[in-house]
Amino acid sequence: LNTAGRSIGDVAQLDDVGLAAWLGLLRAHGVVAHRLDVALQARHRLSLVEHTVLNQLRAAGGRMRMSYLAEGALLSPSGVSRLVDRLGAAGLVERTAWRQDGRAIYAVITAGGRRRLDEAEITYGTELRESFLDHFSEEEVRALREMLARLAPVPSGS
């Protein structure tokens, strides 16, 4: 009947362990992301993506170019534009032009944005620990981080 993946034998075929690892990643992502999203929305009116962008912004020193924000959050240019619209309407970020190059626009986190991020920190930490970190030893978390980092270098730009 062929239970999970395909069997061995054929050319260029996936082995079951590899497929299971990927399906596990897919599922783990879905479960953890959904839980964070639900908690953040309910308690802080922030989607997970919005939180991620705000966090990125703060980590970069408070300001980031739209295009780098897109890379960092794995969103399209239009996706970021609209996301920043929403965050702007909520008073969490502002857009500012850049003198050197009139084409570039910077998103800047506001004091309100930093406050909102602070308020959400306990929620974020608690949910992330319960749904993710608590299932691993410290050693395993380090190994996980190191392995996952190989797949997708984080862009550096500001």
Residues of this chain that interact with DNA (CB under 7 A) are 47, 49, 65-67, 74-86, 95, 101-106
Q: Which of 7, 38, 42, 59 binds a second copy (CB under 8 A)?
A: 59
Q: What is the signed CA dihedral for 129, 47, 105, 152, rounded to 10 degrees?
A: 40
Distance CA 67, CA 74 (A): 10
Residue 5 Cβ vs a second copy, minimum distance, rounded to whole Å: 8
Q: How far apart are CA 102 and CA 112, in angstroms?
A: 27
How far lies 124's CA from each of 1, 42, 121, in Å?
43, 12, 5
Residues 27-56 that bind a second copy (CB under 8 A): 27-34, 52
Contacts with a second copy, 73-112, as mask; x by CB under 8 A: -x--------------------------------------
Structural element, H or E, at residue 103: none
Q: Are 88 and 12 in contact (CB under 8 A)?
A: no
Binding site for a second copy (CB under 8 A): 1-6, 12-14, 17-34, 52, 58-59, 61, 74, 121-122, 124-126, 128-129, 131-133, 135-136, 138, 140-145, 147-152, 154
